[in-house]
A = this chain, B = another copy of it.
Amino acid sequence: MYTKLEKTKGKSLYIALYESISADIASGRIKNGTRLPARRALALSLGVSQNTVDSAYKMLMDTGYIISIPRRGYIVSFNSPSNDTSAPWETSAHEQVVFSPNGIDISHINRVSYAKVMRDIVYNDGTDIFSYVDKGGEFELRSAISKYLYSFRGVKCSPDSIIIGAGAEYLLCSLAVLFPPECSFIFENPCDTHFYRTLAAYRIATDILPAGTGRFDIDALNASSGSILFIDPDARFPRNEPLNEDERRAAAEWANAADGRYIIENCCDSEIIYEPHEPIFNLDTGKVIYLGSFSRSFSPALKTSYMILPPELLSVWKSKHVYYYALTSKTEQFAIAEFLNNGGFTKHYKAVRKLYKEKRELLAESLISGFGSSIDLQDNHGSTYLTARIKEHTADEIKQLARLNGVKLFSMRSFNIDPASAIDDDRLVIGIGDLSREDIKIGVQLISRNFK
């Protein structure tokens, strides 16, 4: 199977093996579902140590080429980048319209007023913007976030319990290493896969709840061996089915029922959701980490994110991360603080919530006029997307038809993190965040013309 493993100068054997196998998988020469040779057999046939094969297989797992299934071995399971699990901004040139549920609208940012805030800071704050950063984030920013969260969602937290970081993913990683290594993180499947894959890249254990339809599966949560639940209760992306009050309370009870259990409440989307619920954080159990950012609600070019830690985790974080702080620049931290304090963000959030609502309504109208009674739509005020079923067609069929017409569509299965388990939910997830009204109309015309 792999006979051409040659020792190249400056290249480890296991890397050469990894590259050879991964290239064959990426090019399709080795198909998904193929079982790779047993490690000992492959080592013998290549004349290398089993260690070399182990390292190569480990790296293939880490990088998402293969999975290990007990008693079956190493199975190829690869989502090629041309698949729709790629990041939404990585689109091919031939696609005219991409209905990405991750896209957001940046054309309505009040650039002049944000620029004014930036300029004032750079010109007026003396040399302070060049001095040492506070490792948990600048106090001005933590204080502004604390005030904002209280007025926006009734979240009560002191500025001292807030940690700032460059991106929600970094914060998640810095949090993950506070727990014992055997601790595993629980994700619903499907979900916003990049948090899951970030942890996987950092070798953090994860547990996936079986893919259910609709409501949150509390029984599966109770049956899980994991102890940290990662969830975005206001949307449960890509379902667009928020946790209701009872489910929020049930999740909090699960966390309270055993030592070492926590909930990471991902609220990065909450600002652009039309009517967000009360956060689980507000149940005040001391077991909830609140995670927020300005990437989805304002601009992905701002890398400043934040989390609120309960007291016992805060002290562990401080003693563990004595030196490491991946932060954004002081200038950006001060600018965000000022834009929070002067109401700039609140004004923006209000405007985009209205904008996304109008675009979702336009999408719904266009879909209904295009597909007529064969479409079954759902819109729970979900920020930048809605979900839909086309009767008598699977999501995959519709996606394929759309692709032939130059349109990229996503489905629940696009966000499957567990290739081994089928997702019993055949809805499309249709996003309009970064599309113009014109694009929405053209896109729907293109995908529905075979149905006329």
A45 within 8 Å of B by Cβ?
A: no
How far is it, in angstroms, between the C-alpha of A106 and the C-alpha of B126 when the chains are bound? 11
- B-side contacts of A165, CB under 8 Å: 326
Stretch at the interface among A12-20, A68-76, A146-154, A355-363: A12-20
- B-side contacts of A15, CB under 8 Å: 259-260, 312, 316
Give the contacting residue for A133; candidates B135, B303, B310, B323; CB below 8 A.
Answer: B303
Q: Are B14 and A64 in contact (CB under 8 A)?
A: no
Q: Which residue on B lies nearest to A119, using beta carbons?
A: B119
Q: Are A11 and B169 in contact (CB under 8 A)?
A: no
CB proximity to B under 8 Å, residues A1-34 = 7, 9-15, 18-19, 22
A167 within 8 Å of B by Cβ?
A: yes
Q: Are A260 and B14 in contact (CB under 8 A)?
A: yes
Most buried by B among A126, A132, A181, A299: A132
Q: Are A166 and B328 in contact (CB under 8 A)?
A: yes
Give the contacting residue for A303; candidates B129, B197, B328; CB below 8 A.
Answer: B328
Q: Are A106 and B118 in contact (CB under 8 A)?
A: no
A329 within 8 Å of B by Cβ?
A: yes
Q: Are A127 and B109 in contact (CB under 8 A)?
A: yes
How far is it, in angstroms, between the C-alpha of A173 and the C-alpha of B324 when the chains are bound? 10
Known: A259-B14, A303-B166. A198 touches B312 (CB 8 A): no
Q: Are B180 and A201 in contact (CB under 8 A)?
A: no
CB distance from A113 to the nearest CB of B (A): 11
A320 within 8 Å of B by Cβ?
A: yes
- B-side contacts of A87, CB under 8 Å: 135, 322-323
Known: A127-B107, A203-B177, A287-B10. A303 touches B329 (CB 8 A): yes
- B-side contacts of A451, CB under 8 Å: none
A450 within 8 Å of B by Cβ?
A: no
CB proximity to B under 8 Å, residues A146-201 = 165-167, 169-170, 173, 177, 180-181, 193-194, 197-198, 201
Stretch at the interface among A55-63, A208-216, A378-386: A55-63
Q: Are B177 and A202 in contact (CB under 8 A)?
A: yes
Q: Are A63 and B320 in contact (CB under 8 A)?
A: yes
How far is it, in angstroms, between the C-alpha of A298 and the C-alpha of B194 when the chains are bound? 34
Known: A59-B180, A329-B328. A197 touches B322 (CB 8 A): yes
CB-CB contacts of A97-124 with B at 8 A, as 1s and 0s? 0000000001101010011001100110
How far is it, in angstroms, between the C-alpha of A293 and the C-alpha of B55 when the chains are bound? 32
A427 within 8 Å of B by Cβ?
A: no
A315 within 8 Å of B by Cβ?
A: yes
CB distance from A174 to the nearest CB of B (A): 8
Q: Are B327 and A167 in contact (CB under 8 A)?
A: yes
Q: Are B301 and A63 in contact (CB under 8 A)?
A: no
A224 within 8 Å of B by Cβ?
A: no
Q: Are B312 and A10 in contact (CB under 8 A)?
A: yes
Q: Are A326 and B89 in contact (CB under 8 A)?
A: no
Give the contacting residue for A132; candidates B7, B89, B329; CB below 8 A.
Answer: B89
Give the contacting residue for A131; candidates B123, B300, B331; CB below 8 A.
Answer: B300
Q: Are B315 and A19 in contact (CB under 8 A)?
A: yes
CB proximity to B under 8 Å, residues A211-228 = none
- B-side contacts of A315, CB under 8 Å: 19
- B-side contacts of A201, CB under 8 Å: 177, 320-324
- B-side contacts of A89, CB under 8 Å: 132
How far is it, in angstroms, between the C-alpha of A111 and the C-alpha of B322 when the chains are bound? 30
A142 within 8 Å of B by Cβ?
A: no
A-B contact pairs, 17 of them (CB 8 A): A9-B256, A12-B312, A62-B177, A87-B322, A111-B127, A130-B301, A131-B300, A133-B303, A167-B327, A169-B324, A170-B170, A173-B324, A177-B201, A197-B322, A202-B202, A303-B328, A329-B332
11 further interface pairs, Cβ-Cβ under 8 Å (given A10-B285, A131-B299): A7-B259, A10-B287, A12-B312, A18-B316, A19-B315, A55-B180, A133-B303, A170-B324, A197-B322, A302-B329, A328-B328
